[in-house]
């Protein structure tokens, strides 16, 4: 990591990940208060004030550079990938703006939350948020209530799927706007001998027409469950009912404890799987 940010010589910076240009108004260091210095050198913990208007533009791990310079992004950081999605709607439509402000503030301190606008015929205007998992979503809901005193309606969570349509031309033309195209070649068996171009679908409304779908791919979870032997039969039955495949079964502590390793679809875990698991053990 190297470089110097001198506010007298540099008035604009480019974001490597967002590919946007920002005006630089002030530069300083953190001590822990913000102290304006006009200069940041290698190794200092500092800040700069700019005309960045959207919270989503502030990406953790981003690299800023002078326009025209050839730089490599700071290594070791990858953008968090949301895997669980849910709709968040105000209980009272008049509270929509308050909910929007609260979610924006929460996203400012939690960059792993993916937020977009959506509308429902039953619930009205709201937001669709992506989380790293069920625990992350539950913590976000608690923070929304405790820190902003907002009780919102949260829809049943869903997960992302990858879909391949009949051919690439139909994919490009008929995929609804908003479905993200993954720039990768599918690592799957392709009966017609062609590389499959997959698209990610986070919302059921973004799915292509049924006649255009070749196949779907869903996220799988490798789960390890350690339980007393007397509960193992019911737990195995629960996993199998949730489309789980047993990869390994190991007895421990002279046969008193069982270590079960299952491969389960993520979509089967986000509803009431953990509640059922607790009740069985």
Q: Is the dihedral angle over the CA atoms 198, 203, 209, 215 positive or is it negative?
A: positive
List every span in the chain annotated with CATH 2.40.30.10: 5-65
| Separation of alpha carbons 102 and 119, rounded Å | 18
Ordered per-residue pLDDT tens for the chain, 281 residues:
677 888 888 888 888 877 888 888 888 888 888 888 888 888 888 888 888 877 677 777 788 888 877 877 777 777 778 888 899 999 888 889 999 999 988 887 887 888 888 888 888 899 999 998 888 999 999 999 999 888 889 988 888 888 888 764 544 444 443 333 333 333 334 444 343 477 778 777 778 888 888 888 888 889 999 999 999 999 999 999 999 999 999 998 888 999 999 999 988 888 788 888 888 88
All CATH 3.30.70.870 domain ranges in the chain, comma separated: 84-158
Task: State the pTM of this model.
Answer: 0.64
Helices 273-280, 229-241: crossing angle, 10 deg rounding: 150
pLDDT at residue number 124? 87
Whether the CB-CB separation of 176 and 204 falls below 8 Å is answered with no
Residue 117 CA to residue 187 CA, distance in Å, equals 32
Q: Which CATH superfamily is domain 84-158 in?
A: Elongation Factor G (Translational Gtpase), domain 3 (3.30.70.870)
pLDDT of res. 196: 46
List the structure tokens of 263: 């491969």
Other CB atoms within 10 Å distance of the CB of residue 154:
17
**Cβ pair 27, 5 in contact under 8 A:** yes
Which helix (H) or strand (E) segment holds residue 147: the answer is helix 134-148
**CATH value of 5-65 in 2.130.10.10, 2.40.30.10, 3.30.930.10, 1.10.1530.10:** 2.40.30.10
Q: What's the confidence (pLDDT) of residue 73?
A: 79
In this structure, whether the domain defined by 220-280 belongs to CATH 3.40.50.10890 is answered with: no
Q: pLDDT value at position 178?
A: 38
Q: Where in the chain is the domain with CATH 3.30.70.240?
A: 220-280
CA torsion sign, 94 to 96 to 98 to 99?
positive
Q: What does DSSP assign to residue 245?
A: E
> What do you get for the CA distance between the two ends of the chain, in Å?
51
């Amino acid at each position: 990591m190297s470089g110097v940010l001198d506010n007298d010589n540099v008035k604009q910076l480019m974001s490597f990940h967002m590919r946007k240009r920002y005006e630089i108004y002030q530069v300083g260091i953190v001590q822990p208060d913000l102290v304006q210095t006009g200069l940041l050198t290698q190794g200092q913990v500092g800040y700069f004030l700019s005309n960045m208007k959207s919270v989503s533009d502030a990406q953790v791990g981003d690299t800023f550079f002078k326009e025209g310079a050839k730089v490599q992004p700071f290594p070791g950081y990858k953008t968090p990938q949301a895997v669980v999605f849910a709709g968040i709607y105000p209980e009272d439509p008049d509270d929509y703006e308050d909910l929007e402000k609260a979610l924006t503030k929460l996203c400012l301190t939690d960059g792993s939350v993916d937020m977009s606008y959506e509308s429902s015929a039953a619930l009205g205007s709201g937001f669709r948020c992506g989380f790293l998992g069920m625990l992350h979503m539950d913590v976000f809901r608690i923070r929304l209530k405790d820190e902003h005193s907002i009780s919102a309606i949260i829809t049943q969570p869903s997960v992302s799927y990858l879909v391949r349509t009949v051919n690439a031309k139909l994919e490009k033309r008929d995929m609804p706007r908003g479905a993200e195209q993954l720039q990768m070649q599918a690592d799957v068996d392709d009966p017609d001998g062609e590389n499959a171009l997959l698209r990610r679908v986070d919302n059921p409304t973004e799915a292509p027409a049924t006649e255009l779908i070749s196949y779907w791919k869903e996220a799988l979870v490798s789960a390890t469950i350690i339980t007393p032997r007397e509960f193992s039969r019911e737990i195995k039955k629960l996993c199998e009912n949730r489309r789980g495949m047993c990869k390994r079964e190991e007895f421990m502590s002279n046969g008193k404890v069982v270590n079960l390793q299952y491969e389960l679809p993520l979509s089967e875990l986000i509803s009431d799987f953990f509640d059922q698991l607790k009740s069985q053990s």
